[in-house]
Structure 1
Amino acid sequence: MNSKHRIASILKANTLAAEITGLQTFHLSELNLTTELEFELPTKLRLGHLAEKIVAELIKSSTNYKVLYENIQIRENKNTIGELDFIIENILTKQLIHLELAYKFYLFDPTIAEETMHNWIGPNRNDSLKEKLDKLKRKQFPLLYHNCTKSTLNDIETDKVTQALCLLVSLFIPYKYNESFSPVYEKAIKGYYFNFETFVSLDNSAKTYYVPTKKEWGMDPSENEIWTDFAGVENYIRICMKENQAPLCWQKHNDLYITFFIVWW
């Protein structure tokens, strides 16, 4: 995995706005970065933790923010009751911010509910945007004001710390779905999804494919150099379908690159 391209993909990722999340938004574009960042990425981290590591390095490399704390374990009677992602400081204003970060991929299932926000689910249907936001509001952000947090962060006044969410999302809609979305969602839509039968029906000899590892999700497929024909990915995708796993796939067709999920449901 190319570190430079992975870092760039996080910087370019769409941030879901406060009008959807109901929480103050922190945009990575607020970071004043004077140089193009490139550093060695850990190889054993899962995607979410990898994104956290990259964002931590971006903040530390900026000239207007600094990291005071990261991945703060909050314990009560030797039991961990939660974790805060970051406490950062605006160097100019000295304002402290409790920042929570998430890097998520959601698919739109219009059959779930009438309200759009309730219909964004994980590729394998085991999580959702609504559940994520509910957890943040119910657990993550209130944790800052827990007595155990105050004793852990005893060098700062937690009551004066503001809170913000950096929710980086890539959204996918059903193949040939024609309904419109609000601009807040529209700009985060990166592709579509369909089942394996549709994938097979759309294949032709001019198309080549690559199935990225989860650590590569969200990267620009045009930067990829390894491509294969349908036969090169068919067996792997069939196995994914049997195991109820929805893989992300990149497709190259002439000079056009597209990203889609192949779902089992």
Structure 2
Amino acid sequence: MKTKSRIASIVKVNSLDFSVTGLQSFDLSALNLTTDLEFQLPTNVRLGHLVEKIVSELIKSSSNYNVLYENTQLIEDNKTIGEIDFIIEEEHTKQLIHMELAYKFYLFDPSISSEAINNWIGPNRNDSLKEKLEKLKTKQFPLLYHNCAKSRFKAIAINEISQALCLLVSLFIPYKYKGNFNPIYEKDIKGYYLNMETFSKLDNPAKNYYIPSKKEWGMDPAENEIWTDFNGVVKDIQTCMKEKQSPLIWQKYNGSYIEYFIIWW
């Protein structure tokens, strides 16, 4: 995995704003960063932890924000009751922000509801945007006001800390879907999803494919150097279908690159 490409992919991702989440947002575009950033990344971690590390380093590398606390566990009676992702400080105003971070891939299923907010689900249908926001509002952000937090963050005034969500999303819609989306969603749509039957029908000898690992999700397919034909990926995709896993596919065709999920459901 190319370190610079992985870092750049996170810098470019938009954060869903207040009009969707109902929570104050923190967008990484607020960071004053030098170009061509590079720093060492951990290897044996899951995607979520990898992104946390990248965002932490981005904040520390910026000229206008500092990290005061990160990944702070709150413990009560020897039990961990939760974790605060970040408490950061704006350099000029000294404003403190409790920031929660999430990096999510959601697929739009129009059959769920007439309200768009209800229809964004995880690739394997085991999580959703609505559930994530509910958890943040009822569990994550209230942690700041728990007695454990007050004792853990003695050096700062809890009541003077604002709260913000950095929800980095990549959105995918059904193949050939004709519905309209709010511009807030539109700018985050990266590709589409389809089933195995449709994928097979759309193949032709000029197409090349790559199945990125989870830690590569969100990176630019155009920077990938390893490609294969339909026969090189079909067995792995069939295995994913049997295991009820929806893989992300990168495709190169006639000099252009696209990405999509193949769903098992």
TM range (shorter): over 0.9
For the residue of structure 2 that corresponds to 1:92, the secondary structure is coil
CA distance in 2, matches of 1:22, 1:7: 28
CA distance in 2, matches of 1:48, 1:251: 24
Is 2:238 the counterpart of 1:233?
no
CA distance in 2, matches of 1:149, 1:248: 39
Counterpart position of 1:132: 132
CA distance in 1, matches of 2:19, 2:79: 35
CA distance in 1, matches of 2:7, 2:41: 9
Residue 9 (structure 1) shift: 0.1
Residue 39 (structure 1) shift: 1.3
For the residue of structure 2 that corresponds to 1:15, the secondary structure is coil
CA distance in 2, matches of 1:250, 1:89: 38
Counterpart position of 1:182: 182
Counterpart position of 2:118: 118
Give 1:94's aligned amino acid.
Answer: K
Deviation by residue 1:74-111 (Cα, 9 ceiling, x = unmatched): 01111000000000000100000000000000000001
Counterpart position of 2:256: 256
CA distance in 2, matches of 1:30, 1:133: 22
Counterpart position of 1:147: 147
Deviation by residue 1:32-84 (Cα, 9 ceiling, x = unmatched): 11242101211111001100000000000001000000000001111000000
Q: Which runs of 4+ in 1 moved over 6 A?
A: none
For the residue of structure 1 that corresponds to 2:107, the secondary structure is strand
CA distance in 2, matches of 1:82, 1:145: 12
Counterpart position of 1:83: 83
Give 2:78's aligned amino acid.
Answer: K
Mind listing any 5+ residue stretches in structure 1 that lack a counterpart? Answer: none
CA distance in 1, matches of 2:99, 2:23: 11
Deviation by residue 1:186-234 (Cα, 9 ceiling, x = unmatched): 0000000000000000000010000000000000000000000000000
Counterpart position of 1:45: 45
Give 1:110's aligned amino acid.
Answer: P
Mapping 1:46-61, distance limit 5 Å: 46-61=46-61
CA distance in 2, matches of 1:64, 1:226: 38
Deviation by residue 1:109-130 (Cα, 9 ceiling, x = unmatched): 0011111000000000000000
CA distance in 2, matches of 1:73, 1:111: 39
CA distance in 1, matches of 2:49, 2:95: 25
CA distance in 1, matches of 2:22, 2:110: 22
Counterpart position of 2:103: 103
CA distance in 2, matches of 1:114, 1:219: 31
Give the total of aligned pairs. Answer: 265
Counterpart position of 2:207: 207
Q: What TM-score, normalized by structure 2, do the two folds share?
A: 0.99
Q: What's the Cα RMSD here? A: 0.6
Deviation by residue 1:8-53 (Cα, 9 ceiling, x = unmatched): 0000012111100000010101101124210121111100110000
Mind listing any 5+ residue stretches in structure 2 that lack a counterpart? Answer: none
Is 2:169 the counterpart of 1:169?
yes
Give 2:218's aligned amino acid.
Answer: G
Deviation by residue 1:154-173 (Cα, 9 ceiling, x = unmatched): 11111110000000000000
